A and B are shown apart, each in its own frame.
Chain A
Amino acid sequence: MASIPMEQGLLLAGVLFVIGLTGVLVRRNIIFVLLSLEVMLNAAGLAFIVAGYRWGQPDGQVLFLFILTMAAAEVSVGLALVLQLHRLFKTLDVDAADRMRG
């Protein structure tokens, strides 16, 4: 059982979130965009765990479970969209699908 100040835990969550955000902004390959989204969701979950650890309440962990569920649902739909994108446009470039018409 470590004794970490809450600020340092939140700092790590912020750093991971910013890395994921940069990935979402920069990458053009849709697989990497989804991967960066996973990093961001994981960082948000880490922030909840750190807060729950600080106050000794299980609510943070409960919220992490909900984030986990949401991430799993999101990634399954997102990867199905990747398959459709690749099937229709023969590319993984997100810019190929900017017309909102199949």
Chain B
Amino acid sequence: MNAVYYISSVVAVVATVAAVTGLNAVHSLLYLIVSFLAVALIFFTLGAPVIAALEVIIYAGAIIVLFIFVVMILNLGDVAVEQEKRWTVGKMWIGPAFLALVLMAELVYVLFQQTVHHLPGAGPIQPQDLGATLFGPYMLGVELASMVLLAGLVGAYHLGRRRQPDETAQERQEPVDAGARR
């Protein structure tokens, strides 16, 4: 099982790099699916089978499908790839990547400073323990999560609504009028 962990972590890192640096949005999303599946396998080896299933269903399923729907609605083609080539020139990566690598080095340094080394995991966590904890001490969190989802639903509906042409023109007009009145 250790080999599974190491192989899938390499796959996850490679796929994530390919997803973040890609030019074509759909190709990047497919790499991201591979990355999420690899992370799901890692969850499975780390004794979290329920979370592994949720990773596949919600991340690799629902969220990526949402992305793909938006890419389909926008109907990006070869023009978008050309535009991406112009937007992301190679030397743009140097500064942010260097700074992020500095943070990464600090993180690794702090992580391996700890005296507790090579302690293996305490064993898999049973789904019933997860459920008992989720609906026991974390009940308030579950309620708040439902509120967040409701807010997300209403917000997405409001923002994604296609406005009538005259309504948009009116909104464009209003700030100018307000400034003139002042």
CA of A101 to CA of B43 in the docked complex: distance in angstroms?
Answer: 43
Min C-beta distance of B166 to chain A, whole Å: 15
Instruction: Out of B51, B159, B175, name the residue touching A61 (CB < 8 Å).
Output: B51
Please count how many residues in chain B sit with their CB below 8 Å of the partner chain's CB atoms: 92
Judging by beta carbons under 8 Å apart, are A52 and B87 in contact?
Answer: no
Instruction: Out of A19, A35, A58, A69, name the residue touching B149 (CB < 8 Å).
Output: A69
Instruction: Out of A10, A20, A26, A36, name the residue touching B111 (CB < 8 Å).
Output: A10
* Chain A residues whose CB sits within 8 angstroms of the CB of B119 once the complex forms: 5-6, 54
Judging by beta carbons under 8 Å apart, are A4 and B172 in contact?
Answer: no
* Chain A residues whose CB sits within 8 angstroms of the CB of B58 once the complex forms: 68, 72
Is A97 close to B, CB under 8 A?
no
Judging by beta carbons under 8 Å apart, are A53 and B149 in contact?
Answer: no
Chain B positions 15 through 29: 1 when the CB is less than 8 Å from some CB of chain A, otherwise 0: 011011110010011
Chain A positions 14 through 30: 1 when the CB is less than 8 Å from some CB of chain B, otherwise 0: 11101111110111110
Chain A positions 27 through 41: 1 when the CB is less than 8 Å from some CB of chain B, otherwise 0: 111011011101100
Instruction: Out of B20, B121, B153, name the residue touching A76 (CB < 8 Å).
Output: B153
Judging by beta carbons under 8 Å apart, are B46 and A15 in contact?
Answer: no
Judging by beta carbons under 8 Å apart, are A31 and B42 in contact?
Answer: no
Judging by beta carbons under 8 Å apart, are B5 and A32 in contact?
Answer: no
Chain A positions 48 through 88: 1 when the CB is less than 8 Å from some CB of chain B, otherwise 0: 01101111111101101110111111111101111110110
Judging by beta carbons under 8 Å apart, are B125 and A57 in contact?
Answer: yes
Chain B positions 101 through 122: 1 when the CB is less than 8 Å from some CB of chain A, otherwise 0: 1011001100110101111111
Min C-beta distance of B95 to chain A, whole Å: 8
* Chain A residues whose CB sits within 8 angstroms of the CB of B1 once the complex forms: 1-3
Judging by beta carbons under 8 Å apart, are B47 and A53 in contact?
Answer: yes
The closest CB in chain A to the CB of B58 belongs to: A68
Contacts known (A11-B108, A26-B96); A77 close to B152, Cβ less than 8 A: yes
* Chain B residues whose CB sits within 8 angstroms of the CB of A15 once the complex forms: 13, 104
Judging by beta carbons under 8 Å apart, are B29 and A76 in contact?
Answer: no
Instruction: Out of A16, A32, A57, A76, name the residue touching B13 (CB < 8 Å).
Output: A16
* Chain A residues whose CB sits within 8 angstroms of the CB of B71 once the complex forms: 31
Judging by beta carbons under 8 Å apart, are A42 and B39 in contact?
Answer: yes
Judging by beta carbons under 8 Å apart, are A25 and B50 in contact?
Answer: no
16 other contacts beyond A1-B121, A23-B21, with CB at 8 A cut-off? A2-B5, A3-B121, A4-B45, A4-B46, A6-B119, A14-B104, A26-B96, A29-B87, A32-B20, A35-B28, A42-B36, A55-B122, A56-B121, A61-B130, A86-B74, A102-B172
